[in-house]
Amino acid sequence: MPSPPSHRHAHRSLFKQRSFSPRSSSHAHKFFINFLIILTCVLLTLFHIQTLIKSSTSHPPWPPLIHNLIRDFELPQLTTDAADDVQFLPLKDRRLAKTAMEGNTWFMSSINDTKEKGEAEYLRFPSEETSAGRLLCVAWNGTINYYALAPAAALPRNAKLLAGLTFISDSYYSYDNLFHGLTAMSPFVAWHERMGFAVEPARWVLYQQGAVRSKLASPWVRSLMEATFGRAAINRIEQLDGEGPSCFKEAVVFRHNQGSMGKERKEKVYDLLRCKARAYCNLTIAEAPAKAVIRLTLLLRTGTRSFKDDAAVIKIFQKECGKVDGCKLKVALPNNLTFCDQVKLMSETDVLASPHGAQLTNMFFMDKNSSIMEFFPRGWRELAGVGQYVYRWVADWSRMRHHGAWYDPGHGERECPINATASSCFSFYKNSKLGHDEAFFSNWTARVLGEMRLYKLDLLSMKSTTNEDETQNCKCG
């Protein structure tokens, strides 16, 4: 019966084939000994190569292959691609997260701002001051965005060279918020104006906290930029998700929003934006009326921060407007207004009354020296911090007159269940609906309309002598 031995033999050979199995300790021993022998041989060979190299040249102490592997390991992908002196650093320096917007900010933190009196801080590439004549390159490794400075003659391997002027922005906040979008874009408007509109940007690269933003999602912000730069110029927002680094022939970077932009520059920027927006929307300047006209607009909201009783509020404004010679009241809701509807409405408004909210960003489309009345729900005065003042700032920048605010005392409202002074209560109150105070609203409206009437009369008398309407006569550069 030959069958069983052959069977056993087959079994043994099968066992032999599995000799590397960790279950067999004696075989594992053998394997390790073999491995050690091979390793020793390799190390000896490497040592031999090293001595050979050392004796012939003064190269690094390790063979080039190993050296490259180590560099690969430490600095994935990017540095091996680069010319020797091009060093890629993370665009966002997380070590500075606590002081993200201070000094050089955490965006391109190794590069110092160029500061000019009255202007927003900027970086210009290439320039002697900012980059010692080198170009700015950016790259993405799939997770993190990097930047580097590279000589034009030694760009990183596989780098794309992007011709023309690139506008690069980093904002801490979302571009889709009207206020933050506006303040992030306005230094580019200022730059464009300062350069005499000579060079159109070939593209934009937008970052928010160091991460690429592929578009301006807000139709309002996009329309305003389209009005200022033209459709072609604003629609080229670079995605930068391709392989390999991108280098910019010329780039201007703003990373502080308006930063240290001075009062005069801001006024010019908002003058230009007003003018460009009106032209873009084909608004024709109406013939100046022979008598003082005061155009009062009540810009209501639906939903959050709307008045609980719109009708009652409208009635108060109607009554006060009725008492002033030449006053005309308009009531509008911003939600279904297009960008141009908003520009048109504002250019036909002298006194804007509206609850705190993004729709107030539109104020700079009014003629200069126009007036704003703002309404806040309960809790804002105590808990909102400086954020509550943003529309006072926009008024100041664009030379409007902010006539203060009404803070709903919220009598009889539900109290914040946590603690009325704790900041966590802010989110409890933030979007509450607004009540109204007839006596206060009447008195306040009467005062603002009265002042506007005097101003308009002044304007009329000045016009009759100069015969030139300076407020409406804008030059769009």
Q: For ligand NAG, which stretch binds (CB under 6 A), given 270-278, 357-365, 405-413, 414-422? A: 414-422
Q: Is 340 in the site for ligand NAG (CB under 6 A)?
A: yes
- Of the pair 27, 463, the CB lying nearest ligand NAG is at 463
Least distance from C-beta 336 to ligand NAG, angstroms?
4
- Of the pair 76, 404, the CB lying nearest ligand NAG is at 76
Size of the site for ligand NAG (CB under 6 A): 20
Q: For ligand NAG, which stretch binds (CB under 6 A), given 3-11, 163-171, 246-254, 415-423? A: 415-423
Residues 224-283 that bind ligand NAG (CB under 6 A): 281-282
- Of the pair 77, 174, the CB lying nearest ligand NAG is at 77
Among 6, 56, 284, 421, indicate the residue that binds ligand NAG (CB under 6 A): 421
- Of the pair 131, 202, the CB lying nearest ligand NAG is at 131
Q: For ligand NAG, which stretch binds (CB under 6 A), given 170-178, 256-264, 357-365, 416-424? A: 416-424
- Of the pair 119, 320, the CB lying nearest ligand NAG is at 320
For residues 295 and 347, what is the distance between their CA atoms, to the nearest angstrom? 10
- Interaction pattern, residues 274-313, with ligand NAG; x per rule: CB under 6 A: -------xx-------------------------------
- Of the pair 33, 72, the CB lying nearest ligand NAG is at 72
Among 21, 80, 214, 471, indicate the residue that binds ligand NAG (CB under 6 A): 471
- Of the pair 22, 142, the CB lying nearest ligand NAG is at 142
Least distance from C-beta 375 to ligand NAG, angstroms?
17
Backbone angles phi, psi at 196, to 5 degrees: 65, 25
- Of the pair 57, 282, the CB lying nearest ligand NAG is at 282
Peptide bond into 5 cis (omega under 30): no
Backbone angles phi, psi at 131, to 5 degrees: -135, 15
Backbone angles phi, psi at 193, to 5 degrees: -65, -45
Q: Which residue is nearest to ligand NAG (CB)?
A: 142
- Of the pair 176, 267, the CB lying nearest ligand NAG is at 267
Spatial neighbors of 159 by CB under 8 A, at least 6 apart, are 137, 150, 244, 245, 246, 247
Q: For ligand NAG, which stretch binds (CB under 6 A), given 27-35, 81-89, 118-126, 417-425? A: 417-425
- Of the pair 83, 340, the CB lying nearest ligand NAG is at 340
45 burial (CB, 10 Å; 0-12 / 13-18 / 19+) is exposed
Q: Is 333 in the site for ligand NAG (CB under 6 A)?
A: yes
The radius of gyration of the chain from alpha carbons, rounded to an integer in Å, stands at: 34
- Interaction pattern, residues 128-147, with ligand NAG; x per rule: CB under 6 A: -------------xxxx---
Q: Is 336 in the site for ligand NAG (CB under 6 A)?
A: yes
Residues 439-458 that bind ligand NAG (CB under 6 A): 443, 446-447
- Of the pair 50, 77, the CB lying nearest ligand NAG is at 77
Q: Is 127 in the site for ligand NAG (CB under 6 A)?
A: no
Among 112, 158, 424, 461, indicate the residue that binds ligand NAG (CB under 6 A): 112
Least distance from C-beta 91 to ligand NAG, angstroms?
12
Encoding tokens for residue 2? 């030959």
For residues 329 and 118, what is the distance between their CA atoms, to the nearest angstrom? 39
Among 369, 382, 389, 476, indicate the residue that binds ligand NAG (CB under 6 A): 369
- Of the pair 4, 303, the CB lying nearest ligand NAG is at 303
Among 60, 64, 76, 133, indicate the residue that binds ligand NAG (CB under 6 A): 76
451-454 LR contacts (CB < 8 Å, sep 24+): 451/371, 451/403, 452/294, 452/350, 452/351, 452/371, 453/292, 453/294, 453/324, 453/325, 453/326, 453/327
Query: What does the binding site for ligand NAG look like in residue numbers (CB under 6 A)?
Result: 76, 112, 141-144, 281-282, 333, 336, 340, 368-369, 419, 421-422, 443, 446-447, 471
